[in-house]
Each structure stands twice: as structure tokens, then as C-alpha cells.
Amino acid sequence: MVAVNVLYLVGSSDEQPPLTGLAHLLEHLMFTGSEHVINFDEALQAAGGESNAWTSVDATNYYDVLPAQNLETALWLESDRLQGLTLSDESITTQKSVVIEEFKQRCLNAPYGDLSHLISRLAYTTHSYQWPPIGRTIDDIEAATADDVRRFHYSHYGVDRAILCISGNVSFDVAFQAVNKWFGDINPHPVDPRIHVPEPQQTQPRMLEVKRDVPQTIICRAYQMPGRTHELYPACDILSDVLSNGKSARFYQNVMLSTGLFTELDASVGGTLDNGLFYVRGKLAPNATIQQAQEAIDHELDRLLRDGITQYEVEKFVNKHIATERFENLGYLQQAMRLCLYEQLGDAGLINREESHYLALTPSDIMLAANRLLQPHNCSTLVYAKNN
């Protein structure tokens, strides 16, 4: 088997209101037919393969898995939709309806469906990370014309905006020759530069409370943090693990077990290319008040800032992180996808070298990140409250 992964350097952060949701819409449209292919999935399945895709704020990723002897089928399909995507009025209208229904299902009719919209708008005032990949609103998707979609595609999809990786049971020479055959004669065309307005440093806390018909109240905090390529990113990543990675982490031991105020409490990093968000998110127990929950989170974060962390904690969570990363890199599909993601960061070879940055971390590094991030003025808090 082989995996063919194509990552395009276009995501929802490349959109401009009111035309949001276009990157995700194009993810759907990339499967609706190209110059020589009526149905992408049908042709791939006939070769024993399967495919899927996802859209983030920074990129759109497509992957195909199929028997190694049919590698050229996947490359033919990918090259054809890269240079000859049909984008007919009918397919655009159909996929707009599909995306709108997805928006309703995921964001309007599901518990906590609009949480990511609310916290993004609260935490970002300038940067185009203000909305998730599915778009700001249904109105934005409905209002986009076929010409809007075609312009966005032409302005952001090009051979020089794509990263291709092949992994699996194939030699380098065979893969290289096949890629050269199907992609070598594709000429680049001018695409829009990626220009993101930087988010200014937050100087005061922000708060938003909403009430919804949900089973539990959620407190979601978002702290501004450096982007994925910043030297502090590994320290921020391990800080989130120290707080919440497993039952030996601080949130579970010091807050959940001792207070009974939460049924879930975790921390995570966004991992965006530009400056992102460090999340602390908790689901409140039935009898907990919002004030009690906020005070419990504050108490634990204050204790970390005051007392610091130990070398043992750093080593434990760095080892857990490295073990997880190595395990996830075992499969050929994951290798192909991750190599593209690391190349997006500037160097595919980081897949083998990044763990050295984690192994070099010290308690002082983690505390430097903690003191920079976990400050009240750097925090946006969304209280997603259960209706009484």
C-alpha cells in the first residue's frame, strides 16, 4: 500500500469577510470532478483506494491510500484536479447546500456547537483566526457566488502552493518518476500572497457569558501564545501536559479529585502557524457554581506560577510526548501527512529532529512559558452556561 498526501497552503485564515468558509467549501468541491475525471472517489475506488480531506485555519489537506501498483492512479487524479478542477455552477450550488447543512448540524443543532466561534471572536480582534474553517455564519456561505468561489480557487490553489508526499511500499526512484510524469509539466500561475494581520498583544482580560440549552456549563479560557515555529512552542506544549495529560497531571490530582467541581478539566495548545491560543477548558459538575470553578482554576494556576514544576514532571511528560509522537509516526499515512505538515513549517526533516527540542526542555523553560502565558491580562474567558 501507499499513501499520497497533498497539502495546500490555504486555510480559512486566507479568507476575508464576508467571504468566509470558502476554503472548506473548496475542500468539498475538489471531489466533484475535473477535466478528465467525472467522479474522483469513483475512479480511486476502482483502483482499490480510498480518500479523504480536512481543512484547518492554516491549510487544506487531501490524502489517498491505495495499492502500491496503482500509485499512478492517485497521482493522475491529484494532478487533474490541481490543474483542471471543473467548478461548475451546479457542483458549487450542490456543495454549498451540503456545507450549509453541515454548519447547521455541527454548529447550530449540536450542544456547544458555536463554542469555537465564540471563543475565537473573543480571543482575536484583528487576525483572521477569528472564525473556524467552516465559516463565520451560514449567511457568508449562502452569499458566496460561483465567481467568488472560482476566484478564491484560482488565487490560492496552484502547484507552487502544494506540498506532495508519498509514503509506503514504493521506492524513491519509482515515486519520483511517477510524480515527474504527472506533475512535472504543470506550470505555476500567480497566487495571492499569504498576508495575515498580526494579532496585537492582549493587555486586559476579556469575558463573555452566554446561556444555552446544554447539559453542563463549560468554562473555556484562551491565553495568547506563540505560533508553531516559535522557540517557546515546545515549552507551551509540555505545560499543557503538566496540567492535564492523564491522571497524574495537576488538574486531575489537585483540582478534580480534591474539589469535585469538574467532570472534565484539561489544557491544550492550538498549534497554529501564527500566534495561537493556549486553552484551559472545564465542564462543571452539577452542583458547582461558576465562581467556585473559576477560583479553583485560578488557585491551581497560581500555585504552579508560585511553586514551579519539578525536573521529574518535565522528564515524565516529555517522555510521554515523545512516545506518542513516535507511535503516531509508525503508519505510512501518518508519515505522509506529517511530513507535509513539517514541510509547511519550513523543513520536513523536523519530523526526526523536533524531539531533541523537547528533550532539551528544563523546568525553567516551562516556567518561562507559564509566566508569559498564564496572566489575567492575557486571558479571554468564555462562560458557556447551562440554562437554569
Q: What is the structure's pLDDT at 50?
A: 96
Q: Which residue from 299, 298, 294 is spatially nearest to 382, judged by alpha carbons?
A: 294
Report the chain's mean pLDDT, rounded to a whole number. 96
Domain 206-386, CATH: 3.30.830.10
C-alpha cell at 138: 451560514
Q: Is the pTM of this model over 0.85?
A: yes
Question: Domain limits of the chain?
Answer: 2-183, 206-386
% of the chain exceeding 70 in pLDDT: 100
The average pLDDT across 222-229 equals: 96
The average pLDDT across 349-355 equals: 93
Q: Check pLDDT > 90 for residue 388.
A: no
The average pLDDT across 174-190 equals: 94
pLDDT, one tens digit per residue, over 119-176 is 999 999 999 999 999 999 999 999 999 999 999 999 999 999 999 999 999 999 999 9
Q: What is the structure's pLDDT at 23?
A: 97
Q: Check pLDDT > 80 for residue 59.
A: yes
Q: Helix (H, G, I), strand (E, B), or coil: what is residue 225?
A: strand
Q: Helix (H, G, I), strand (E, B), or coil: what is residue 369?
A: helix
Report which secondary-structure segment, H or E, holds 5: strand 2-8
Q: What is the structure's pLDDT at 322?
A: 96
CATH homologous superfamily for 2-183?
Metalloenzyme, LuxS/M16 peptidase-like (3.30.830.10)
Say how far apart CA 49 and CA 67 lie, in whole Å.
7
Say how far apart CA 339 and CA 168 lie, in whole Å.
13
Per CATH, 2-183 and 206-386 having the same topology is answered yes
pLDDT, one tens digit per residue, over 244-288 is 999 999 999 999 999 999 999 999 999 999 999 999 999 999 999
pLDDT, one tens digit per residue, over 301-321 is 999 999 999 999 999 999 999
Residue 265, burial from CB neighbour count under 10 angstroms (0-12, 13-18, 19+):
buried
C-alpha cell at 350: 523536523
C-alpha cell at 359: 528533550
